[in-house]
Amino acid sequence: MLTTVKDPLMVTQNLLVRSAAAGNQISSAYQEKRHWLFTYFFLKGLQGQVDVNKDKSVNVEVLYGYVKEQVETEARDIHTERSPQLFPGTNLIEDRSKTSVITLQP
C-alpha cells in the first residue's frame, strides 16, 4: 500500500515517519547479520554507533543520516538500490531534527 501526503507539515507536528526504502523500492534483508538492512543499522545507531561527539545522545538528524548512508552503501554492495526516507524531511522539521531520540547509558 502506498500513501501519499500532499503537505507533510500538515500531518502533525509530533510525528516523524522513517521508512526502509523509497516508495518505488522494496526493503532488503541483510543476510549475514540476520536482519533487514534498515533495522540492522537503525538498531546500531540506537546503540550509539552514531554518537561521534560522545555526548551520550542520539538525535533524529544524525540517526537518519547514519542509517541512510549505511543502508545505501550495503544495498549497492548487493547490487540493489535502497534509500531510507524520513517524512517530513529534516529540512522541514528544523529544530525538531535535533531532538534526542535516545540517551545512551554508560
What average pLDDT does this structure show over 50-71?
87
94: left (phi > 0), else alpha (psi -120 to 50), else beta?
Answer: left
24-28, 73-77, 97-101 — which one is most confidently predicted on average? 73-77
What does the alpha-carbon distance between residue 46 and residue 49 come to, in Å, rounded to a whole number? 7
pLDDT of the residue at 8 = 54
pLDDT of the residue at 12 = 60
Quick check: 40 and 69 in contact, CB under 8 A?
Answer: no
If you average pLDDT over every residue of the chain, what do you get?
80
Cell numbers at 45, concatenated: 545507531
CATH number of 16-103: 3.30.70
60-77 vs 37-44: helix crossing angle, rounded to 10: 140
**β-pair partners for 29:** 36
- List the domain boundaries for the chain: 16-103
State the Cα angle at 11 between 7 and 17, rounded to 5°. 100
What does the alpha-carbon distance between residue 73 and residue 100 come to, in Å, rounded to a whole number? 25
What does the alpha-carbon distance between residue 31 and residue 9 come to, in Å, rounded to a whole number? 36
Tell whether the model's pLDDT for residue 65 goes beyond 80.
Answer: yes
What does the alpha-carbon distance between residue 18 and residue 20 come to, in Å, rounded to a whole number? 7
| pLDDT tens-place string over residues 16-51 | 778 888 888 888 888 888 989 999 999 999 888 888
Percent of the chain residues past pLDDT 70, beyond the cut: 74
